[in-house]
Amino acid sequence: MIHPIILCGGSGTRLWPLSRKAHPKQFVDVLGHGSLFASCARMLSGEGFAAPTVVTASDFRFLVAEQLVDAAVDPGPILIEPEPRNTAPAILAAAMAVALRDPAAVILVAPSDHAISDPEAFRECMRAACPVAEAGHVVTFGIRPTHAETGYGWLELDGGTLQGTHALRRFVEKPDQATAEAMLARGGHLWNAGIFMARADAMVSAFERHAPDMVEHVRTAVGDAGTDLGFLRLAADPWSKVRAQSIDYAVMEPASTAEGLYVQPYDGGWTDLGGWNSIWREMERGADGVAARGATTAIDCRDSLLRSEVDGLELVGIGLENIVAVAMNDAVLVADLGRVQDVKLAVERLRTRGAAQAEAFPYDHRPWGHFETLALDERFQVKRIVVHPGAALSLQSHHHRAEHWIVVSGTARVTVDDEVSLVTENGSIYVPLGAVHRMENPGKVPMVLIEVQTGSYLGEDDIVRYEDVYARGQGAKG
């Protein structure tokens, strides 16, 4: 039995504007097959797999639970990091959580933002590595390289094998072009996928040998963790004392030298989707090398990527070559495919200017559904709000704004102070400034409404919660 550990707390920006801090790429439908997280969870489920242990951030906890339900995957523990500390502490916490139940359990640590085109082939690859992990060794997975990639770390194989799994000689940092070409030509090198397999107790022991300063704090954070609506929230104080470092630097590189690691090669399609150039490679392309998604038109274009992420927004490219163009309703990216690694620099500049698009996402996901802003000015805002069947917003009030709700589809049960009413399609209701109110969907289909806010301040942090079925506390998301 393999016990998956899925890491999904990252907030990468290299796929901006589609991926942002508020809604990172692992939760986005990047390739048209559902979210990367859901695809990963499905791949690591079924016969031979235990329920996954997921490590994520507080803001994503309900999104994780929702996407697991949509993927028909029964979740195991969902660990909430009080703050991001990179992959080493996250993996150690999850390994300790599994070891509390079964120290000899074989864990499979996987990032949730990679794309694997043949899940069954990768499951076979994992099964092949299991005997080596069960024997107490740590196994990493290497991808057979198809080109001289400089954006990945590489693995240099040793000559020895154990039950068909190769011994690892050393990790190679992201190489320059000449080094990558030399390794590709020489053979004996694989891309580092950042996926690991070991017994839970063996993984913890590796940390005790090579990163002992992490162990005490993480063990305390796990031991003092508190339950929160089915989530396991790691204790904040000891977690804050853990140094932030990747598993490669903290454990795997020193372990490869001290006691040796093993590598299971995988020959199938894999990419970490680390930039728009990798998205272009993974998408279906025409004879002209153009990959397109959404409402797009390409005229005399070559080797380019065009994506419109908004219904009704037409993206037209004329005479483009080696260009990526991505249009959303609040931001547009146009870049040379050879410069897509610089997207993070653009995000930094936007953040410095205070532009909301640097981190905020057009769709704000909440445990009850989601909303999007349709229009925003100094003293008014118009939103489209979707509430799941049976879901309810918190009982709340606002200091600075009034709201007018118009139901577009479904039925809303609305509380305004002491009055409760049902508002059906085409009906509306007014919520005065300061009124204590709540919106619920008592029906069996999603409820959609348009909200018009008016007031002197329209920020999401102008919420005072009195009751909340999701126990979010105060603030924009709680």
pLDDT tens, residue by residue, 288-325: 999 999 999 999 999 999 999 998 899 999 999 999 99
Which pLDDT band, with edges at 50, 70 and 90, does 467 fall under?
Answer: very high
Which pLDDT band, with edges at 50, 70 and 90, does 477 fall under?
Answer: low
Helices 36-43 and 61-70: crossing angle in degrees, nearest 10, is 60
Which pLDDT band, with edges at 50, 70 and 90, does 284 fall under?
Answer: very high
Residue 352 scores a pLDDT above 60:
yes
Among the listed ranges 4-8, 112-116, 473-477, which one has the minimum average pLDDT value? 473-477
Half-sphere exposure of 103 (CA within 13 A, CB side): 5
Three-state SS annotation for 195-216: EEEEEHHHHHHHHHHHCHHHHH
Which pLDDT band, with edges at 50, 70 and 90, does 416 fall under?
Answer: very high
Residue 476 scores a pLDDT above 70:
no
Residue 403 scores a pLDDT above 70:
yes
Q: Using alpha carbons only, give the angle 317, 303, 23 rounded to the nearest 5 degrees.
A: 75
pLDDT given at position 140: 94
Rounded Cα gap, residues 307 and 312, in angstroms: 12
pLDDT given at position 136: 94
Give me the chain's average pLDDT, please.
Answer: 93
pLDDT given at position 72: 93
281 membership: H or E segment, kind and range: helix 276-282
Q: Is the dihedral of CA 118, 123, 126, 127 positive or negative?
A: negative
Portions of the chain given CATH number 3.90.550.10: 2-271
Residue 454 scores a pLDDT above 70:
yes
One of 3.40.50.10860, 3.40.50.300, 1.10.10.10, 3.90.550.10 is the CATH number of 2-271, namely 3.90.550.10
Give me the mean pLDDT over the 155-184 stretch.
88
pLDDT given at position 473: 72
Architecture per CATH, domain 363-467, reads as Sandwich (2.60)
Residue 98 scores a pLDDT above 80:
yes
Residue 229 scores a pLDDT above 90:
no
Does residue 350 sit in helix, strand or coil?
helix
Tell me which of 466 and 174 has the higher pLDDT.
Answer: 466
Which pLDDT band, with edges at 50, 70 and 90, does 173 fall under?
Answer: confident
Residue 190 scores a pLDDT above 80:
yes
pLDDT given at position 343: 95
Portions of the chain given CATH number 2.60.120.10: 363-467
| Pairing between β-strand 323-327 and β-strand 315-318 as defined by DSSP bridges | unpaired
pLDDT given at position 77: 93
Give me the mean pLDDT over the 377-392 stretch.
95
**Range 133-155 burial, b when 16+ CB lie within 10 A, else e:** beeebbbbbbbebeebbebbbbb
Residues 202/220, Cβ–Cβ less than 8 Å: no
pLDDT given at position 127: 93
pLDDT digits (tens, 9 = 90+) for 13-31: 899 999 999 899 999 999 9
280 membership: H or E segment, kind and range: helix 276-282
CB atoms within 10 A of CB 356: 16
Give me the mean pLDDT over the 236-245 stretch.
96
DSSP character for 19?
S
pLDDT digits (tens, 9 = 90+) for 372-381: 999 989 999 9
Rounded Cα gap, residues 34 and 36, in angstroms: 7
Give me the mean pLDDT over the 340-368 stretch.
92
Residue 464 scores a pLDDT above 80:
yes
Q: Using alpha carbons only, give the angle 177, 286, 147 rounded to the nearest 5 degrees.
A: 20
Residue 475 scores a pLDDT above 70:
no
Residues 415/438, Cβ–Cβ less than 8 Å: yes
Give me the mean pLDDT over the 146-173 stretch.
86
Q: What percent of the chain has pLDDT over 90?
A: 80
Which pLDDT band, with edges at 50, 70 and 90, does 12 fall under?
Answer: confident
Q: Which among 370, 294, 365, 381 has a CA at the least distance from the CA of 332?
A: 294
Give me the mean pLDDT over the 215-244 stretch.
95
pLDDT given at position 10: 79
Q: Which among 252, 265, 234, 282 has a CA at the least distance from the CA of 25?
A: 282
Residue 428: strand pairing partners: 406
Residue 478 scores a pLDDT above 60:
no
Highest-pLDDT range among 64-78, 206-220, 351-365:
206-220
Q: Which among 122, 101, 89, 127 has a CA at the least distance from the CA of 200?
A: 101
